[in-house]
Amino acid sequence: MSIASQPNIVAPLDTGFQPAVGFNRSYRAAVQASGQGVPLVLGLERENGLLSRHETMVSTLCDAETLLYVERIVKFLLWSRGGWKLHFGGPRAVGEFIRKTYSARSARKFDCEMMALSYGKQFQVVLTTPEKVPANREMQVAAGGHLKGCRIGFDLGASDYKVCAVVDGEAVFTEEMPWDPKSQPNPEYHYHHLSAALHRAAAHLSRVDAIGGSSAGIVVDSEIRVASLLRAIPKRDFPKAAGIFKRIQQEWSVPVVVMNDGDVTALAGALSLRKKGMLGIAMGSSEAAGFMDQQGRILGWLNELAFAPVDYNPAAAADEWSGDRGVGALYFSQQAVNKLLPAAKIALPAKMGLPERLKEVQTLMAKGDTRAAKIYETIGVYLGYTMAHYADFYDFRHALILGRVTTGQGGDIVLAKAREVLNQEFPALAKKIALHVPDEKSRRVGQAVAAASLPEVK
């Protein structure tokens, strides 16, 4: 098959951008037109027997287009749903390719290792038939929205952390501080920064009833399993670092609940808009995502879309951690801004960090620099096509877009360009979903405020 997937709206600083949604939809249309498609059912099994299914059709030919389509969907599902076992119900030749690719010694070694760390079991691919893939079984937990009392919320990112004091749902103190957790091998660094921030927030409250947190990385049962924040921690010290939140709970003797920053983003959107069916995207040091379904439930999905593919250009930039190309972290974060600097002809000192580089671009934007505007336009094109891609895997009606990249005039350009793409390329979808941004203040601390509502106080 010959699949055409070039976008009609070109990203100004990335003319090679090949949106995943374009290829995927063209492939499915070609399979349907051929009349020779066969079912493919993918089931990802994770903790406690939970399982997410995805059904599609593929060609009977084990050609390059089919292998690309299936491999990229498996990758997307792996990082959006999570799981330690993939039930592959489809053509055996394609399944053998996936089993080989997703193994400890092949191209997706990183993904297999991360899933094993997250779920405590070696990742495996089981080949079966479509009808034998187990039934869907999702977690259905309503989380957050507890506003009464005196609470502290925090949000831990890779370049800064935020803390707030909240009284009956209203923030009475907010603070944003830089830090460098990724390069710190001593877990006491992470603990002391968080502990000091909590005490500064507590000084603005008459008492502390609960503490809620949002953290980058994979968080299970209020414990970090995988996170770039702890990348420098030696393996022998990792349990101490991962247990920082339970240590906080023991010291403060109040309920402490911590969730992945993406899920808290979705919660923040639901609280601020009073809506359900919410996909949250936070563009910070990396991309964080979270999802709340139409019933207001958190389904227990991984939602680590920083590692999920959005660009099928074989020459796309490679993620420094996973080694894969075209994944979300390089399109919706400070890393995306940095990636586009050469094309924008903006030269900055080599030793300058990503947060400082973003600030320089924001300064140029405030001065009306057209080069900076092109960076935001490009990210907006990325976002428009990727919203359509996400809509193929998430049933949402509202998307909340926030994070440091969306601060200021540049954020307005990103949203305007994304809406333009949706309206022109996906008009039916544009009528179905709405893109939202919080106001300027809650753009930067909204997750911390939402995180404060996580614990239930009885």
Q: Are 216 and 227 in contact (CB under 8 A)?
A: yes
- Contacts of residue 107, defined as CB under 8 A and 6 or more positions apart, other chains included, come to 101
CA angle at 453 for the pair 387 and 192, rounded to the nearest 5°: 100
Q: What is the pLDDT of residue 142?
A: 66
Answer left, alpha or beta for residue 300, where phi above 0 means left and psi between -120 and 50 means alpha.
left
Q: Do domains 150-256 and 264-449 have the same CATH topology?
A: yes
Residue with tokens 């227990």: 300
Q: What is the pLDDT of residues 89-148, one digit of tens each?
A: 999 999 999 999 999 899 999 999 999 988 889 999 999 999 999 999 987 766 677 889
Specify the fold of 264-449: Nucleotidyltransferase; domain 5 (3.30.420)
Side chain identity at 103, as an amino acid letter?
Answer: S
Q: Name the β-bridge partners of 237.
A: none
Query: What's the CA gap between 406 and 8, in Å, rounded?
Result: 24
Q: Are 217 and 224 in contact (CB under 8 A)?
A: yes
User: Average of pLDDT values for 277-282?
Assistant: 90
Q: What is the mean pLDDT of the chain?
A: 92
* Closest C-alpha to 21, from 412, 389, 414, 362: 389
Structure tokens at 386: 């990727």
Q: What is the pLDDT of residue 402?
A: 83
Query: What's the CA gap between 337 and 330, in Å, rounded?
Result: 8
8: number of Cβ within 10 Å: 8
pTM tops 0.75, yes or no: yes
Radius of gyration of the chain (CA): 22
Q: What is the pLDDT of residue 25?
A: 95
Structure tokens at 45: 């099994």
Comparing 48 with 443, the larger pLDDT belongs to: 48
Query: What's the CA gap between 281 and 279, in Å, rounded?
Result: 7
Domain spans in the chain, listed from the N-terminal domain onward? 36-132, 150-256, 264-449
Q: What is the pLDDT of residue 2?
A: 62
Specify the fold of 150-256: Nucleotidyltransferase; domain 5 (3.30.420)
Side chain identity at 198, as an amino acid letter?
Answer: L
Q: Are strands 278-283 and 287-292 parallel, antiparallel or unpaired?
A: antiparallel
Q: What is the pLDDT of residue 216?
A: 79
The arrangement of strands across the sheet holding 160-167 comes to 170-178, 160-167, 150-156, 210-215, 256-260
Is the pLDDT reported for residue 343 higher than 60?
A: yes
- Give the side-chain half-sphere CA count within 13 A for 309: 32
- Contacts of residue 395, defined as CB under 8 A and 6 or more positions apart, other chains included, come to 277, 293, 294
